Amino acid sequence: MVSLYNSSIPMMIKYLGNLKTILTKAEQHCVAKDLNQEEMITFRLIADMRSLDYQIQSCSNTAQFIASRVAGREDTFFEDSETTIPQLQSRVDRTIDVLRAIPADAMDGKEGAEVILKSAMGNFRFDGYSYIVQYACPNFHFHLASAYCILRHLGVPLSAFDYLDSQRDLFIKVQEPSS
């Protein structure tokens, strides 16, 4: 079985790095097209869906709460107050710092440990495994994909590789032998 740490923390660090690249492209798009950054950040795909800033804050929150809920670290709280792309990028950096500070042994072996998710909708009980594998990782990607879709809708030139491999360390092309 893959450890809780290895199934979540390195992946989230990588995809938060990809999110930073996506946000850089969004900022460049605003400059190139003379678009209002605030309108981009507050844009929603549909009225009952949350805006771009919320999607990024939710990626951050989902990732950083692993530190306290599973790894037993001191709770980290970032106020959801970012209004510019550089502020959102800074938040992503701070989230990466929180994740990098989690040692593997703080999570591994806690598959059966109780995790309580407190939310506005109530409190929910998980074990460590279901919290990471069935909630935190899918929720992280849901919000990351939502941010990506908002930016694509607004015309930001992104590809699947920006989402999956902006750091160009995942897809290593295989050289076919010459015939």
pLDDT tens per residue across span 64-96: 999 899 998 888 889 999 999 999 999 999 999
Kindly report, residue by residue over 4-56, the tens digit of the pLDDT: 999 999 999 999 999 999 999 999 999 999 999 999 999 999 999 999 999 99
Supply the pTM of this predicted model.
0.92
Q: At CA 172, angle to CA 101 and CA 146, rounded to 5?
A: 60
Enumerate the domain spans of the chain: 4-165
pLDDT at 1: 64
Does 143 score more than 80 pLDDT? Answer: yes
Structurally, at CATH architecture level, domain 4-165 sits in Up-down Bundle (1.20)
Kindly report, residue by residue over 93-121, the tens digit of the pLDDT: 999 999 999 999 999 999 999 999 988 99
**Separation between Cα atoms, residue 177 and residue 160, nearest integer Å:** 27
3-state SS class at 103: coil
Residues 6+ apart with CB under 8 A from 25: 151, 156, 157, 158, 162
pLDDT at 77: 87
